[in-house]
Structure 1
Amino acid sequence: MPEGDSVYRQCKMLREALEGAVIESSDFRVPALATSDVSGRTVVAVVPRGKHILIRLSAAPNTEEMKSGAEPLTLHSHLMMDGTWRVFDRAHNDDAGHLGEPRTSGADAGRSGADARGPGRATSSSGRGGLQRSRPGASPYRPRGQARRGGSVRSAAESRTRISADVSVGQGSHTIRAILRTKDVEAVGFDVKDVRLVPTRLEDQELVGYLGPDILGPDWDLEKALERLNAQPDRAIGTALMDQRNLAGIGNVYRVEVLFMTRTNPWARVDSLPEGRLREIVVLAHKLLHLNKDRSMRSTVGQAPQGRPLFWAYGRDGQPCRRCGVQLKRGEIDDALLTVDPAPSRTAVQHLRTIAWCPRCQVAG
């Protein structure tokens, strides 16, 4: 499940592959950007902002275009639940050259796009440093709902239950929403949401200005985050932590883990917490995300054994508490209005999320 740490890794991967490169061609597969083209622009920066990815592009190089208002742009995307960016090395593509170019021979005649593409090499946002390439001859695309592990095919259900730092479900070409091609690589956004192009000068106004302090950002401000959380004292702490207007980057995994580790009931009101508890929660969240931002597999209990993630409570409902032995319970918490771009006028609706918690260690009050 993408959270602040996995967004950080995705941006690191994209930065290494794209920053300073000129876009040779682009392809946006969302209605609002169907006719948009950013070719000729240089990738100036790739910036994570909470759970948002901002790819900043230079002004269009053509003088006439500049006169018509082709100023520096920002390509925005949000991973939500299933989105991911991948980078493919064009130097190792087959004769088709790149995504979207049809093959014209053999059984592939008449096919186009990623479905027609032969073996390629992909880059994933691994935390083991540098760009990780897939093995030669490995197809970067699989039918949606299948993902490969150790030579066997896993079902979509197995993929979804595998808790990893990044999205593990195999992606198909029909889920592509954005492609940026440079001389050397193709960056492909699968199932990314809220894909938009806006003038860079309007980033705050139109994209991320409503967000609270970024928990992994260079401008992280603990006191401001605490101030925003305390501004709604009657709110459940479990919901307040997920509100990106308070602090940006925490998702369901870290919410469950931080509240368990601090013995905090998810439904406790912010103003009912013991003195100093709110600060303890936010400081711990900041520490955990920083510890995991460069790991390939997320873990909150030290180094994950044998490469498998390990958590105190997340995904463990029905199993014994690692601290007291009591069976962890499964609960639901309403994350109302926690959308990509929350509007104050929007009517509140229920957004129930499943959490695991310990009825003995996390007693309210």
Structure 2
Amino acid sequence: MPEGDTVFLAGHRMNQALAGKTLRRGELRHPRLAALDLTGLDVLGVRTYGKHMFTHFSDGNSLRSHFRMDGSWHLYRPGEKWRRPAHQARAVFEVDDRQAIGFALHDLEFVPTSEEDRLISHLGPDLLAPDFDTAEAVRRLTADPSRPVGLALLDQRVMAGVGNLYRAEVCFLLRVLPTVPVSAVDASRAVALSRKLLQANQWRPEQSTTGDLRVQHYVFERTGRPCLRCRTRVRSDEIDGRFVYFCPKCQKG
């Protein structure tokens, strides 16, 4: 599942490509929305919140898209070949000079712009928001002290934007196993690290937590490879059906 920084960058690029322009083609190929034709509407702008993207239209409505596990928005020049099969397209937007194609977007909703906040009201603070509420994020993270920190970090109701990659890397930098309870970690530092890592990558497609694009991650997807800190082999396991990655020497629990 894409991390919050991936969604943020996609939203930024969509906004640059579409905002202020009229849709020459506006198809929604989703079972619930297939009858809608957005052709002729102006795109007012695109914003993101955590892993949710909202495209605003001149009729007072918004399209909410969530990437889930395999969804994505692609931008193309007119006539350029799509990089994914056409049958995976769930939204096809065309303006004079660009195409925006939403692939495998299983979670789409078309709602009045004035009501879009109700779709995200249950979420925690957006880690990439300029007005990010650190105190509220810490409060939500520590609300259940016995909960494994690896589950709490992934819960979008705590903080919006952390995915499996940053969950693994934050736990490594905290030097704790993902299974330790929240009460065993410095919650303020966990929140600060989450925000810092997402901010470091929000303007580029590459995601590095090490500061080095040649070796981008400390433990994420490095099972069996040497830990960058101590050379012990990185291990992986499952928590609640998702893989977690960790160094058995550097991370305690």
TM-score of the superposed pair, with normalisation by structure 2: 0.96
Kindly indicate whether the alpha-carbon contact (under 8 Å) linking 1:203 and 1:209 is maintained by their aligned counterparts in 2.
no
1:175 aligns with 2:64: no
Kindly indicate whether the alpha-carbon contact (under 8 Å) linking 2:68 and 2:107 is maintained by their aligned counterparts in 1.
no
Query: Deviation string for 1:326-355 (max 9, x for gaps)?
Result: 222211111xxxxxxxxxxxxxxxxx1011
Q: In structure 1, how many angstroms separate the alpha carbons of the residues matched to 2:105 and 2:42? A: 22
1:143-162 equivalence runs, <5 A? none
1:253-292 equivalence runs, <5 A? 253-273=165-185, 277-292=186-201
What does residue 231 of structure 2 align with? Answer: 325
SS of structure 1 residue aligned to 2:146: coil
How far apart are residue 5 of structure 1 and its match?
0.9
Query: Deviation string for 1:126-177 (max 9, x for gaps)?
Result: xxxxxxxxxxxxx333xxxxxxxxxxxxxxxxxxxxxxxxxxxxx1111000
SS of structure 1 residue aligned to 2:32: helix
Identity %: 39
What does residue 82 of structure 2 align with? Answer: 140
What does residue 58 of structure 1 align with? Answer: 58
How far apart are residue 303 of structure 1 and its match?
3.0
1:310 aligns with 2:216: yes
Aligned residues: 253
Q: In structure 2, how many angstroms separate the alpha carbons of the residues matched to 1:18 and 1:198? A: 19
What does residue 38 of structure 2 align with? Answer: 38
How far apart are residue 259 of structure 1 and its match?
0.5
**Most deviating of 77-86 and 242-251:** 77-86
How far apart are residue 260 of structure 1 and its match?
0.4
Query: Deviation string for 1:55-79 (max 9, x for gaps)?
Result: 01122xxxxxxxxxxxx11101111
What does residue 212 of structure 1 align with? Answer: 124
SS of structure 2 residue aligned to 1:32: coil
Specify the structure having the higher radius of gyration (Cα): 1
1:342-353 equivalence runs, <5 A? 352-353=241-242
What does residue 12 of structure 2 align with? Answer: 12
What does residue 23 of structure 1 align with? Answer: 23
Kindly indicate whether the alpha-carbon contact (under 8 Å) linking 2:11 and 2:46 is maintained by their aligned counterparts in 1.
yes
Q: Which amino acid aligns with 1:329?
A: R
What does residue 362 of structure 1 align with? Answer: 251
What does residue 159 of structure 2 align with? Answer: 247
Q: Which amino acid aligns with 2:82?
A: P
Kindly indicate whether the alpha-carbon contact (under 8 Å) linking 1:257 and 1:311 is maintained by their aligned counterparts in 2.
yes
Q: In structure 1, how many angstroms separate the alpha carbons of the residues matched to 2:34 and 2:205? A: 34
Q: Which amino acid aligns with 1:176?
A: A
What does residue 112 of structure 2 align with? Answer: 199
SS of structure 2 residue aligned to 1:33: coil
Kindly indicate whether the alpha-carbon contact (under 8 Å) linking 1:204 and 1:210 is maintained by their aligned counterparts in 2.
no
1:98-109 equivalence runs, <5 A? none
How far apart are residue 210 of structure 1 and its match?
1.1
Query: Deviation string for 1:89-131 (max 9, x for gaps)?
Result: 22xx2xxxxxxxxxxxxxxxxxxxxxxxxxx1xxxxxxxxxxx
1:233 aligns with 2:145: yes
How far apart are residue 325 of structure 1 and its match?
2.0
What does residue 111 of structure 1 align with? Answer: none
Query: Deviation string for 1:200-232 (max 9, x for gaps)?
Result: 111122x21111100011221111100111111
Runs of 4+ in structure 1 deviating by more than 2 angstroms, as ranges, are: none
For structure 1, the residue ranges without an aligned partner over 5 or more in a row are: 60-71, 94-119, 121-138, 142-170, 335-351
Kindly indicate whether the alpha-carbon contact (under 8 Å) linking 1:51 and 1:248 is maintained by their aligned counterparts in 2.
yes
Kindly indicate whether the alpha-carbon contact (under 8 Å) linking 1:330 and 1:354 is maintained by their aligned counterparts in 2.
yes
TM-score of the superposed pair, with normalisation by structure 1: 0.67
1:222 aligns with 2:156: no
Q: In structure 2, how many angstroms separate the alpha carbons of the residues matched to 1:294 and 1:358? A: 29
Q: In structure 2, how many angstroms separate the alpha carbons of the residues matched to 1:232 and 1:238? A: 13
